[in-house]
A and B are shown apart, each in its own frame.
Chain A
């Protein structure tokens, strides 16, 4: 490929940003400014992004989950300070966005919502699915979570299971540590990570056993 370069105005920055964190901040700035200046709207960009949202998997979150399943000490650290623990695996977000991980247990099931917007832990869960932003999901999960999970997501939880709905906000991003499914004994961390779904980390699903 040949390029010809005539004298061009100085770029906004002279250097290539080198970290995902830096680039993500620049993209947020780009979107925020272009929306402010009326050159685009969040909805319009959303519509395009949603076409490809499946392509961005929650691979980082899945790695953290797999590590927590296989390393009890790591799991303890994760539950105490998720932001620090994720940094151990090289996963981090923007400063000021702390993560808190809530653990599913045999009789406790957690799910996350954001009732005011579509904030979502980008570093671990990837892009928000469209339905996460809809009033139908958000408002109803507060009022009737058990019904929503059963009717919309096919997740039927026993009545004896306590449901906890966490409001994820700009400052504190919650996400769910799902339970390790049966039939996974002896699997490597990598194999385990490939089982973990985004829905299970939001709490509208569970991690299915392998081969299901």
Chain B
């Protein structure tokens, strides 16, 4: 498993290393998907599915395309959005998945058709009324 030091070193080797979001020197993240992207990319590299230089090259491409966009079309800079785009390209090139497979899976998550593996009901699962006196009378115990 990659350690923080390894991850730091890997990140330093990438383009735009001066633009990596940081807080007090540590890698900093705004959204959960950003951390997830870092984890997937680093882990797949650690497991030998691609050379870091391959990911580097893909990232260079993606950043270059972003930079070349006209200002009114250019999305807000997001370092990890570039990572996400770069790794998608990489897995397409390596033919780990087809672009159709990928787009379809993404669409399933976006539309809510696919949800995490279980679909249990949810709701009020347990209750410890303690010594609360009015607990018994007319309390709703079912989910909305």
Contacts and interface: CB of A to CB of B under 8 A. Distances in A.
Interface of A: 1, 3, 5, 8-13, 16-18, 20-34, 37, 39-40, 44-49, 51-53, 55-56, 94-97, 100, 107-108, 113, 115-117, 119, 122, 126-127, 141-143, 145-146, 157-172, 174
Given A37-B97, A44-B1, A52 B130 contact: no
B122 interface: yes
A46 B2 CA distance: 12
Interface residues of B, number: 82
A142 B61 CA distance: 50
A201 to B, nearest CB: 15
Contacts, number: 240
The residue among B66, B116, B119, B128 with the most chain A CB atoms within 10 A of its own CB is B128
The residue among A1, A12, A52, A141 with the most chain B CB atoms within 10 A of its own CB is A12
B29 A13 contact: no
A122 B32 contact: yes
Contact of A40 (B43, B92, B93, B131): B43
B44 A34 contact: yes
12 contacts: A1-B63, A3-B60, A11-B92, A25-B106, A27-B37, A27-B84, A33-B97, A45-B36, A107-B134, A161-B130, A162-B128, A166-B143
Contact of B112 (A29, A97, A159, A169): A97
Nearest to B125: A167
B116 to A, nearest CB: 5
A162 B102 contact: no
